[in-house]
Amino acid sequence: MLQTLRLPVFICSRNYHRSEYTVPIPDYSLTDYLFRNISKFGKGIALVDYLTNRSITFDQLYEEVDNVANNLYALGLRTDDCVCLYGTNVPEFAHVICSVTLNGASLTIANSQLTAGELVLFY
C-alpha cells in the first residue's frame, strides 16, 4: 500500500512561517555551507553552463556572490524579506540563491513558464 506524503505549503511574505514538521536544520546558511572549504577548492570548477561550456570557479563564484549580496543590500534587501526568482535555468541561479540567503532573506522560485497574470496570482 502506498502512503501519501503530506508536504508543507509555504506562502511567501514578510512574515515568518513555521512548518508543522520538526527537521534538524544546521546553524549555517546554504552559502556558508557552499563556501566553507573555499581555501581548499577555490580554483576548482563550481559551475558549468552546459550550453556555452562556460565555467566558474569557487573563487569567482564567491567574489560574484559577495558583489551581488552587497548590491541587494544596498537596494534594501534585509532579513525576513522574500525574493521571487523568475527566470530560466542558468548558472547565475546560484549567485541569486547564495546572495539572497547571505542577506538573511528567503527565496521562492517561480516557474519561468508562468505568465505575468499567473505570477500576480501566485506571488
pLDDT at 11: 43
Who has greater pLDDT, 2 or 86? 86
Rg from Cα positions in the chain: 17
| pLDDT at position 68 over 70 | yes
pLDDT band per the 50, 70, 90 thresholds, residue 118 = confident
| pLDDT at position 70 over 90 | yes
Mean pLDDT (whole number) for 80-86: 90
pLDDT at 34: 86
Mean pLDDT (whole number) for 99-103: 92
Mean pLDDT (whole number) for 97-121: 89
Domain boundaries, the chain: 30-122
Per-residue pLDDT tens digits for 23-61:
887 787 788 888 888 889 999 999 999 889 999 999 999
Residue 69 burial by Cβ neighbours in a 10 Å radius (0-12, 13-18, 19+): buried
Helical residues (DSSP H) of the chain, grouped into ranges: 30-35, 38-41, 58-74, 92-102, 116-122
Domain covering 30-122, topology: Rossmann fold (3.40.50)
pLDDT at 115: 87
Q: What does the alpha-carbon distance between residue 65 and residue 59 come to, in Å, rounded to a whole number?
A: 10
Q: What does the alpha-carbon distance between residue 28 and residue 58 come to, in Å, rounded to a whole number?
A: 18
